[in-house]
Amino acid sequence: MALLKAGYFSHIQELRSKIISVLLSVVVLTVICFIFIPHIMNFLEFPLRSAKVQLNYFTPYEKFVTYMKISFFAGLFITAPFALFQAGSFIYPALKKNERKYFFLFAFLIPMMFAVGIVFAYFILIPAAFRFFINFASGDNVQPMWGIGEYFNLILSMLFISGVIFQVPLFLLFLIKIGVLKVETLAKLRKYIIVLIAVLAGIFTPPDMMSMILMSVSLYLLFELSIIIGRIIR
């Protein structure tokens, strides 16, 4: 019993040290990102450059708060691989031998698919949404004046949501692999999945038709890819 308690507390202590190291990394990288905030701003303003819209701030503290928020999320994003490594090093010793190969596979695919989702949103989804907003009713005399806070809230949320949505194939493959979901069942539910995809695209994209279509097509292709890979790993 004493050995069991000692082992339990050693695991808790190890988990605590890993969590602290991750939190310290987030703080340090947030400060570094705030120092280099002009470069991050140039990166995030890229989808808006072709639109020729100037960003503005409407309260004395809006710009500072926005920069702090961007620095925090940038630090969090950069810390993510280190956090995954720490989580993996904690979980890995408890895995069985046949489980470890799948652990490495998913440890590689999860950040990769998240990055693919971000790239998709950055280069395709967000520019399409901005073109719609700017060209909407362009014949009137109402000129765009975008606030820096709302702009970055929109772009950061779209990047994050797109990265999360691109995890759906991995989640489906995991369910197929552990036997909770069958490939045949997934294929039979295709027409309902298409409706669900359209609903999700309508919820998680800006209210324009082009963004909804782009997200819907991407999700459907990921769904079909999940079925193909599911048949292979079955």
49 domain-assigned: yes
Domain membership of residue 234 (yes or no) is: no
Task: Please give the radius of gyration of the chain, using alpha carbons only, rounded to the nearest integer.
Answer: 22
In-domain check, residue 205: no
Say if CB 171 and CB 228 are below 8 A apart.
no
pLDDT at 3 over 70: no
Which range among 32-46, 55-69, 91-105 shows the weakest confidence by mean pLDDT?
Answer: 91-105
* pLDDT per residue as tens digits for the range 203-213: 877 767 777 88
**Tens digits of residue pLDDT in 16-31:** 888 899 999 999 999 9
Q: pTM for the whole thing?
A: 0.79
Top pLDDT among 131 and 69 is at 69
Q: What is the pLDDT of residue 4?
A: 47
> Of 42, 205, 43, nearest to 132 (Cα)?
205
- Using pLDDT thresholds of 50, 70 and 90, give the confidence band for residue 50: low
Domain membership of residue 125 as a residue range: 2-166
Task: Determine, yes or no, domain membership for 20.
Answer: yes
Is residue 186, in this structure, part of any structural domain at all?
no
Residue 58 lies in a domain: yes
**pLDDT tens for each residue of 154-200:** 888 888 888 888 888 888 888 887 777 888 888 888 888 888 888 88
- Give the model's pLDDT for residue 7: 57
Highest mean pLDDT pick, 49-63, 132-146, 202-216: 49-63
The model's pLDDT over 70-107, given as tens digits with 9 standing for 90+, comes to: 999 999 989 988 888 888 887 877 777 777 777 777 78
Q: Is residue 128 part of a domain?
A: yes
Confidence of residue 201 (pLDDT cuts 50, 70, 90): confident
**48 is written with which tokens?**
């808006």
Residue 165's pLDDT is 86
Q: Is residue 211 part of a domain?
A: no
Q: For the chain, what is the domain count?
A: 1
